[in-house]
Chains A and B, each alone.
Chain A
Amino acid sequence: MSAVVDTHGHDGHGHDAHGGGYHGAGGIMRWVTTTNHKDIGTLYLWFSFIMFMTGGAMAMAIRLELFSPGIQFFNPDLFNQFTTMHGLIMLFGAIMPAFVGFANWQIPIMIGAPDMAFARLNNWSFWLLPFAATLLVMSFFTPGGAPGVGWTLYAPLTVQMGMGMDLTIFAVHLLGMSSILGSINIITTILNMRAPGMTMMRLPLFVWTWLITAYLLVAAMPVLAGAVTMTLTDRHFGTSFFNAAGGGDPVLYQHIFWFFGHPEVYIIALPAFGVVSQVLPAFSRKPLFGYASMVYATSAIAILSFIVWAHHMYTVGMPVQGQLFFMYATTLIAIPTGVKVFNWVATMWKGSLTFETPMLFAIGFLFLFTLGGFTGLMLSLVPIDIQLHDTYYVVAHFHYVMVAGALFAAFAGVYFWFPKWTGKMYDETLGQWHFWLTMIFFNMIFFVQHFLGLAGMPRRIPDYPLIFETWNKISSIGAFGFGLTQLLFLYIILKAIRSGEKAPQKPWEGADSLEWTHLPTPVPYHSFETPPVLK
């Protein structure tokens, strides 16, 4: 049995169906026209790194301004633009594409598929992103600058912004399109492309978490598209969605936005759970503890994520019955999340642990994400949230989830799968340095922000009273260290690509999914054209 690779039309080369290498167009056209899941995964990962640096530069600017009280470098309007764009770029440009990159690389080789189900659509899902990012960044150079409304894009402020807001709206449309098309592709791939014998309950957990994430995306992203469309028509066509004089309501925007926004939190967190659920068993040399309960817990989190959105809005004005419902529903999420944390710890229990870089990042994830979960639990309680709403406590909370959760898991995943993807080993010593510096500087930035928030420092304000100066200085120094450390990450990756040692087929003793057991290192350009035989 050989694979059928279509050879009609576009280039005269034809494909060697059995060959491992790449034979198509050369140079940049390879990357522009590719239908190969590995190429597209690589594009996603590099794109997300570039966006990570862009959003990171804005974070540096924010911390620079907050180094001292008073206005030092940026006027408040520009500061607001930085906080807005930092959020949008990091969420939609860095973290989400990073995990879609993992999905592209890993799902086909983990389930024994020849490629993604819709290879051309896959290309489009990626190539929408650079154009969307261009629109987003362009908004800085329009009259009035980028929107300075916060990444949540709340009405009525958005209705009053300049043309940068319109660019952002269309950028969100393209980003949403990319996510929806990508998710449809992922769902279809997982449901329809599994090798014979790869039953649903044998899927690696990373694949499961992405299946559930993709459902969340298909359900939540169109709602965001609706919300920004309403903003657009309110801005330019005189509709009254968010205009109280016309019978509309600015609070409506918040409801629609958070109906998208809370699932979005899990869209980012679930693939991170998936990566960690691959890494921890591999370095504990034990199977994942409680596999089935992990699947059910992930599904439970996903379902609950659609009925908790108004916990972001306790202070906006809501009947007490509403507050109670959303508080109880939110605290319920702690149960499946607790199941997951328990299972991860139990996976390591009595394992023969080693602490290579991926494992370090996974354990770092486990500690810090759990901390972020606890602060989340506190914020879910109405009386506490009313005190802490819009303070640095919230900033600290969601950075523990987004950075120490999602980003740490992404780093764990990169170090874990890098040898498989490239056939080269990274420098373990430098990897360890990267982890420890990231870990220390991360806590330096964000742990102290809990204190700032509890003491009442509001978020999204470029100035603060003298009393907050010490913690802000520590936080800013941590931020600069964190930023520099990520350049070390770039160096580690480039060094490994150029001169890394050759990696064996299975560099990690305890790794047991298909890509390690059935494919050579580096993974050939076309893999599993013939489905693997699974026992």
Chain B
Amino acid sequence: MEHGASTTTRQAHYHVPQPMPWPIMGSFSLFCMALGSVILFNGASAGWTGIALGFMVLLYMMFRWFGDVIRESEGGKYGRWEDLSFRWGMSWFIFSEVMFFAGFFGALFWARVMSVPDLASLEHNTYLWPNFTSHWPSAGPGFEEKFSPMGAWGLPALNTVLLLSSGVTITLAHWGLIANQRGKLLFWQGMTILLGVLFLICQAVEYAHAYSDLNLKLTTGAYGTTFFMLTGFHGFHVTCGAIMLTVIWFRCLSGHFKPEHHFAFEGVAWYWHFVDVVWLGLFIFVYWL
């Protein structure tokens, strides 16, 4: 979507930014969070200090770094050439996220197609687990407690509707931006955020239901593991996406973006569609089939 710019040739200059301290601050914050997590996971609550410190530095760093980028963008430093860089960059970032989820989907398929059936094979029945039969959902042969799997047609189906609708509303907001109708833009962008938040609330309710009523936990063997890790990472991405949408909403409110220059909006929209598509995969393979 070049919005009319495609007929012009690229400008002669590319914006090369000044030196800045934000990247090293980001590295330092991640280092603190990593070290804090290691300490925490090994039983010392002092780890929280490192995580909290790191997280605060990370927030500050993002605030300043993005602030610089937004000022540069609004200051007219980015032309079509820079815009194209952002498009390539965001595309490949989303692709890397797809591959991250692919790893976890791979784990799900492996458990369902390979390891659970194999654990019920004659060999394993003879020597290790005589009574284990292959079925899905399964928590594996060593798991004694009873649990119920999560059904697809309650909250998860509602969540599918919510996310798919949010894909429509963000497109309506985009059309509002292109047509320079700020009211339409703000309304539909607000609706998108609302749908995202509703999705997250539903997911929280669903998790509570799983833990309290279904006895379905993260520790519930292969099924609990893949269920919570896949939906959990997805929920984390929806949370990030909702925060990004909110930042964009406030930027729209402050009059940022032009009908022909608004890649920040589009990048977030791409990201939002990406979490949408991942959800469809989850709904089909984790909840439904």
Residues of chain A having any CB pair with chain B under 8 Å: 1-11, 24-25, 29-30, 32-36, 113-115, 117-121, 123-124, 127-128, 130-131, 134-135, 163, 166-167, 170-171, 173-174, 177, 180, 183-185, 187-188, 191-193, 218-223, 225-227, 230, 232-233, 235-241, 243-249, 251-252, 255-256, 259, 526, 529-531
Q: Which of A118, A130, A241, A246 contacts B107 (CB 8 A)?
A: A241
List the B side residues contacting A530 at CB < 8 Å: 12
Known: A32-B21, A114-B16. A247 touches B100 (CB 8 A): no
Indicate with 1 or 0, residue by residue over B100-134, a CB within 8 angstroms of chain A CB atoms.
10111011001100111011000000000000000
List the A side residues contacting B95 at CB < 8 Å: 218-219
Contact A6 B15 (CB under 8 A): yes
A392 and B42 CA atoms in complex are apart in Å by 36
Extra pairs beyond A115-B14, A226-B100 (17, CB < 8 Å): A1-B12, A8-B72, A10-B20, A33-B19, A123-B19, A124-B23, A130-B27, A134-B31, A163-B42, A167-B35, A188-B85, A191-B88, A192-B84, A241-B225, A246-B225, A247-B139, A249-B110
Interchain Cβ contacts under 8 Å between A and B, 10 examples: A4-B16, A8-B72, A9-B18, A123-B20, A127-B27, A131-B31, A167-B34, A223-B100, A243-B140, A248-B221
List the B side residues contacting A191 at CB < 8 Å: 88
Residue B142 lies at the interface, judged by CB distance under 8 Å to chain A: yes
Q: Which of B17, B35, B88 contacts A135 (CB 8 A)?
A: B35
Known: A131-B27, A223-B103. A120 touches B89 (CB 8 A): no
Contact A4 B143 (CB under 8 A): no
Residue B285 lies at the interface, judged by CB distance under 8 Å to chain A: no
A159 and B43 CA atoms in complex are apart in Å by 16
Residue B155 lies at the interface, judged by CB distance under 8 Å to chain A: no
- Nearest chain A CB to B155 CB, angstrom units: 23
Indicate with 1 or 0, residue by residue over B61-89, a CB within 8 angstroms of chain A CB atoms.
00001001001100101000100110011
Contact B89 A25 (CB under 8 A): no
Chain A residue nearest to B140 in the complex (CB): A247
Chain B residue nearest to A186 in the complex (CB): B92
Contact A227 B141 (CB under 8 A): no
Known: A120-B23, A135-B35, A223-B100. A246 touches B140 (CB 8 A): yes
List the B side residues contacting A174 at CB < 8 Å: 27, 30-31, 34
List the A side residues contacting B223 at CB < 8 Å: 247
Q: Which of A120, A185, A239, A256 contacts B103 (CB 8 A)?
A: A256
A166 and B38 CA atoms in complex are apart in Å by 6
Contact B18 A10 (CB under 8 A): yes
A173 and B103 CA atoms in complex are apart in Å by 15
Q: Which of B28, B103, B141 contacts A226 (CB 8 A)?
A: B103
List the B side residues contacting A32 at CB < 8 Å: 21, 24
Q: Which of A240, A248, A255 contacts B106 (CB 8 A)?
A: A255
B-side interface residues, number (CB < 8 Å): 69
List the B side residues contacting A35 at CB < 8 Å: 16-20
- Nearest chain B CB to A323 CB, angstrom units: 16
Contact A246 B27 (CB under 8 A): no
- Nearest chain B CB to A235 CB, angstrom units: 8
Contact B119 A244 (CB under 8 A): yes
Chain B residue nearest to A217 in the complex (CB): B96
Contact A192 B225 (CB under 8 A): no
Chain A residue nearest to B90 in the complex (CB): A184
Contact A120 B20 (CB under 8 A): yes
Contact A1 B142 (CB under 8 A): no
List the A side residues contacting B84 at CB < 8 Å: 192
Contact A170 B37 (CB under 8 A): yes
Residues of chain B having any CB pair with chain A under 8 Å: 12-24, 26-28, 30-31, 34-35, 37-38, 41-42, 65, 68, 71-72, 75, 77, 81, 84-85, 88-89, 92-93, 95-97, 99-100, 102-104, 106-107, 110-111, 114-116, 118-119, 138-143, 218-219, 221-225, 228-229
A226 and B225 CA atoms in complex are apart in Å by 13
- Nearest chain B CB to A431 CB, angstrom units: 34
Q: Which of A9, A167, A245 contacts B38 (CB 8 A)?
A: A167
List the A side residues contacting B13 at CB < 8 Å: 1-4, 114, 529
Closest 6 CB pairs of A and B: A245-B142, A226-B103, A247-B140, A247-B222, A124-B23, A170-B34
Question: Taking each of B89, B119, B228, which has the highest tally of chain A beta carbons within 10 Å of its own beta carbon?
Answer: B89
Known: A238-B218, A247-B119. A127 touches B38 (CB 8 A): no
List the A side residues contacting B14 at CB < 8 Å: 4, 113-115, 193
Chain A residue nearest to B75 in the complex (CB): A8
Question: Taking each of B27, B75, B118, B229, which has the highest tally of chain A beta carbons within 10 Å of its own beta carbon?
Answer: B27
A117 and B107 CA atoms in complex are apart in Å by 35
Known: A3-B13, A530-B12. A222 touches B221 (CB 8 A): no
List the A side residues contacting B96 at CB < 8 Å: 180, 184, 218-219, 221-222
Chain A residue nearest to B221 in the complex (CB): A246
A86 and B48 CA atoms in complex are apart in Å by 31
Question: Taking each of A113, A134, A244, which has the highest tally of chain B beta carbons within 10 Å of its own beta carbon?
Answer: A244
Q: Which of A177, A222, A244 contacts B97 (CB 8 A)?
A: A222
Q: Which of B21, B28, B140 contacts A244 (CB 8 A)?
A: B140
Chain A residue nearest to B143 in the complex (CB): A246
Chain B residue nearest to A250 in the complex (CB): B115
Known: A119-B17, A247-B222. A184 touches B92 (CB 8 A): yes
Contact A115 B16 (CB under 8 A): yes
Contact A4 B15 (CB under 8 A): yes
Chain A residue nearest to B141 in the complex (CB): A245
Contact A30 B12 (CB under 8 A): no
- Nearest chain B CB to A233 CB, angstrom units: 7
Contact A7 B18 (CB under 8 A): yes
Contact A256 B106 (CB under 8 A): yes
Contact B85 A118 (CB under 8 A): yes
List the A side residues contacting B28 at CB < 8 Å: 131
List the B side residues contacting A6 at CB < 8 Å: 15-18, 72, 77
Contact B27 A128 (CB under 8 A): yes
List the B side residues contacting A34 at CB < 8 Å: 19
Contact B100 A222 (CB under 8 A): yes
List the B side residues contacting A118 at CB < 8 Å: 85, 89
Chain B residue nearest to A5 in the complex (CB): B16
A166 and B93 CA atoms in complex are apart in Å by 26
- Nearest chain A CB to B76 CB, angstrom units: 11
List the A side residues contacting B23 at CB < 8 Å: 120-121, 123-124, 127
Contact B92 A188 (CB under 8 A): yes
List the A side residues contacting B22 at CB < 8 Å: 120
A530 and B85 CA atoms in complex are apart in Å by 18
Chain A residue nearest to B118 in the complex (CB): A249
A248 and B116 CA atoms in complex are apart in Å by 7
Known: A131-B28, A166-B38. A246 touches B222 (CB 8 A): yes
A9 and B64 CA atoms in complex are apart in Å by 12
List the B side residues contacting A33 at CB < 8 Å: 19-21, 24
- Nearest chain B CB to A43 CB, angstrom units: 11
List the B side residues contacting A123 at CB < 8 Å: 19-20, 23-24
A398 and B16 CA atoms in complex are apart in Å by 40
Contact B115 A247 (CB under 8 A): yes
Contact A187 B92 (CB under 8 A): yes
Contact B229 A117 (CB under 8 A): no
A221 and B98 CA atoms in complex are apart in Å by 11
Contact B81 A192 (CB under 8 A): yes
Contact B140 A240 (CB under 8 A): yes
Chain A residue nearest to B22 in the complex (CB): A120
Contact A3 B89 (CB under 8 A): no
Contact B225 A117 (CB under 8 A): no
